[in-house]
A and B are shown apart, each in its own frame.
Chain A
Amino acid sequence: MIDVKNLTKSFGDHLVLHNISEHIHPGEKVVVIGPSGSGKSTFLRCLNLLETPTSGSITFEGQEITDPKADINAIRRQMGMVFQHFNLFPNMTIRKNITLAPVRTKLMSQAEADETAITLLKRVGLEEKADAYPAQLSGGQKQRIAIVRALAMKPKLMLFDEPTSALDPEMVGEVLAVMKELAHEGMTMVVVTHEMGFAREVGTRVLFMDEGKILEQNEPHAFFANPKEQRTIDFLSKVL
């Protein structure tokens, strides 16, 4: 589904991603873990070109998105993204937050989008918040809305950039529950997270990143049971 070849990204002199090659298959739930500054968020943000790679290529469903001529907006419509800080639009109601993109990109009419919004809001148990503004919601509610907003575009793939890191501990569960449900429905997901429980339970593959490289990867049970690299062992001993 996504093919990453020799991806390198540097900010000035600072090398963040070092020659990464990776393939993500449809239906996979890839969980990316690693210490802060290891480049995992940058890796994720390169996948929908929020960061422009310094070199290397990324192909999404046969289309090279790193090609300067590629229609990046059309490609982004097929990839949902959820951010650490939610990034809901504070100047709009929840309904408008969800329907703006499908309507403006002519994916749906306003009526269809409204219907989709309500259906999705019901799924996350927030249909009564449709006419509220983001400032009236708790962090967990905001993040669930952010997931719904991304889903309204009917994406083929969802990218999660530390979706629970900015939440109060008691709200982490409600967001993870929505993500788990999404995973069970077969959505392809790439999740950058510090939630090891989620990685173990939902992930089909765990990537461990350090210093801009994918140091080790495995199926989650094997990964957590017997990590091979010393760096991975050190990291896991600190977070588990």
Chain B
Amino acid sequence: MEKFWADFTKKFTMAFVTGDRWKLYLRGMGTTLELTACALVIGVILGVLVAVIRSAHDQQRLGKRNFALGVLNVLCKIYTTVIRGTPMLVQLLIWGFIIFKTSRNRFFVGMLGLGINSGAYVAEIVRGGLMSVDAGQSEAGRSLGLDYVDTMRFIIVPQAFKNILPALGNEFIVLFKDTSLVSAIGAAEVLYYAEAVGSKTYEYMFPYIGTAVMYLVFCIILTWLQGMLERRLRQSDRR
């Protein structure tokens, strides 16, 4: 038993304390959070854009089809199909080692890969949200003489936003965890440092478990925040 504890302490010290290695994990976690935030921004912008194009196309009146919108719609469909139909890791490897193989800014490449991936999922979430608003709402807006853009902006989008918040929160948490995949293309996030420490000390258990614990803590916090936000929104429903 005593031998176990001695071993435990030694390995723990090696993984986190020696040479201030704990700072590496923190720096890595910082990068992970930055990656998540940047990718989320790209994902939301792309996703909303795609969702609006897709639903604008689907809602056109018969005999008044817009050709440019048709082309954009096909492009959006290809985008969501390809991204959602291939594994994230494969996409990242293609971004990192084929498209941007000469780029040394691994953070940027990882951010782009994650953001473009997330956009496809956000697009489907937003599109679902727009469709979840009763058709009568849009009919009422249009029958008052409001144009499509105003109807979306003042009537449909605010209601859709409330409906999609839970799904969007989940997507955010998934994205946060998926940032660990960019270590495969050499972006210096938390798992990348954990592996660096492991390969230097020949001891992987503590670096890996430490990483897992850090992710878990952040996910619990995020889930809790999400729950708080949803409860607040639900309250305003009962007004």
Q: A89-B137, A133-B239 are in contact. Are A73 and B64 (CB under 8 A)?
A: no
Give chain A's interface secondary structure class. Answer: loop
CB-defined interface of B193-213 with A at 8 Å, one 1/0 digit per residue?
000000000000000000000
| A48 CB contacts on chain B under 8 angstroms | 143
A interface residues with partner B (beta carbon < 8 Å): 48-50, 52, 68, 73-74, 76-81, 83, 85, 87-92, 100-101, 104-105, 133, 135-136, 146, 149-150, 153
- Identify the closest chain B residue to A77 (Cβ): B145
Bound complex: CA A206 to CA B162 (Å): 44
A68 touches B143 (CB 8 A): no
Bound complex: CA A88 to CA B64 (Å): 28
| A135 CB contacts on chain B under 8 angstroms | 237, 239
Bound complex: CA A83 to CA B239 (Å): 24
CB-defined interface of B122-141 with A at 8 Å, one 1/0 digit per residue?
00000000000010110111
Q: A52-B63, A89-B140, A136-B239 are in contact. Are A76 and B155 (CB under 8 A)?
A: no
Known: A49-B61, A68-B64. 14 other contacts (CB 8 A): A52-B62, A68-B63, A73-B146, A77-B144, A79-B143, A83-B136, A83-B140, A85-B136, A91-B162, A92-B154, A105-B145, A105-B146, A133-B239, A136-B239
Bound complex: CA A209 to CA B139 (Å): 24
Q: Shortest Cβ distance from B16 into chain A, in angstroms? A: 50
| A92 CB contacts on chain B under 8 angstroms | 154
A101 touches B145 (CB 8 A): yes
- Identify the closest chain B residue to A49 (Cβ): B61
Q: Could you write out 8 A-B pairs with CB less than 8 Å apart?
A: A52-B63, A73-B146, A77-B144, A79-B143, A87-B139, A89-B141, A90-B159, A101-B146
Complex A-B, nearest 9 residue pairs according to Cβ-Cβ distance, in ascending order: A77-B145, A87-B140, A101-B144, A81-B143, A87-B136, A76-B145, A91-B158, A52-B61, A52-B62
A50 touches B143 (CB 8 A): yes
B142 at the interface (CB under 8 A from A): yes
Bound complex: CA A136 to CA B147 (Å): 28
B64 touches A83 (CB 8 A): no
B7 at the interface (CB under 8 A from A): no
| A74 CB contacts on chain B under 8 angstroms | 145
Bound complex: CA A42 to CA B237 (Å): 33
B20 at the interface (CB under 8 A from A): no
Q: A52-B63, A135-B239, A136-B239 are in contact. Are A149 and B139 (CB under 8 A)?
A: no
- Identify the closest chain B residue to A100 (Cβ): B154
Q: Shortest Cβ distance from B61 into chain A, in angstroms? A: 5
Q: Which residues of B, 210-239, contact A by the 8 Å Cβ criterion?
A: 237, 239
Bound complex: CA A101 to CA B143 (Å): 10
CB-defined interface of B147-161 with A at 8 Å, one 1/0 digit per residue?
100100011001100
Bound complex: CA A101 to CA B139 (Å): 13
Q: Shortest Cβ distance from A191 into chain B, in angstroms? A: 15
B159 touches A50 (CB 8 A): no
Bound complex: CA A85 to CA B145 (Å): 19
Q: Shortest Cβ distance from B162 into chain A, in angstroms? A: 8
Residue in B139, B141, B142, B144 whose Cβ sees the most chain A Cβ within 10 Å: B144
Q: Shortest Cβ distance from B57 into chain A, in angstroms? A: 16
Q: Shortest Cβ distance from B202 into chain A, in angstroms? A: 59
| B143 CB contacts on chain A under 8 angstroms | 48, 50, 76, 79-81, 150
Bound complex: CA A135 to CA B236 (Å): 10
Q: A52-B63, A68-B63, A87-B139 are in contact. Are A150 and B237 (CB under 8 A)?
A: no
- Identify the closest chain A residue to B238 (Cβ): A135
| A79 CB contacts on chain B under 8 angstroms | 143
| A50 CB contacts on chain B under 8 angstroms | 139, 142-143
Q: Shortest Cβ distance from A48 into chain B, in angstroms? A: 6
Q: Shortest Cβ distance from B156 into chain A, in angstroms? A: 10
Bound complex: CA A4 to CA B92 (Å): 59
A73 touches B158 (CB 8 A): no
Bound complex: CA A88 to CA B140 (Å): 8
Q: Shortest Cβ distance from A240 into chain B, in angstroms? A: 30
Bound complex: CA A88 to CA B62 (Å): 26
B154 touches A76 (CB 8 A): no
Partner of B147, one of A52, A73, A146: A73
